[in-house]
């Protein structure tokens, strides 16, 4: 059975993915911040922790990218979301 933290992380990652797909910067920023707060709970699992850090880096880059250039920044983010989904 999945832990509540894993379920919460899965929901937040899916929310981040949806927000990025909608180009909703405010929602993506909220999901990014919530995932960062939850990341510490996965420090004992280095594979998941590393994947979360890569996701946070990619989503941070997406948030810093100009709106007109975000499509290119969205691709690595989508791949990382898929990777974390597989890990959970």
Rounded CA-CA distance 88/47 in Å is: 11
Rounded CA-CA distance 39/32 in Å is: 10
Q: Which long-range contacts (CB under 8 A, 24 or more apart) does 53-62 make?
A: 54/80, 55/13, 55/16, 55/80, 55/81, 55/84, 56/32, 59/16, 59/20, 59/28, 59/31, 59/32, 59/35, 60/32, 62/20, 62/28
Give, for all 88 residues of the chain, the pLDDT tens digit.
458 999 999 999 999 999 999 999 999 999 999 999 999 999 889 999 999 999 999 999 999 988 888 888 788 888 888 889 888 8
pLDDT of residue 68: 83
């Amino acid at each position: 059975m999945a832990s509540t933290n894993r379920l919460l992380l899965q929901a937040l990652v899916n929310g981040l993915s949806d927000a990025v797909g909608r180009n909703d910067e405010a929602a993506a920023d909220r999901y990014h911040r919530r995932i960062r707060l939850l990341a510490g709970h996965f420090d004992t699992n280095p594979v998941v922790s590393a994947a979360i850090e890569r996701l946070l880096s990619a989503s941070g880059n997406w948030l810093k990218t100009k709106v007109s250039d975000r499509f290119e920044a969205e691709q690595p983010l989508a791949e990382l979301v898929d990777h974390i989904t597989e890990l959970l």
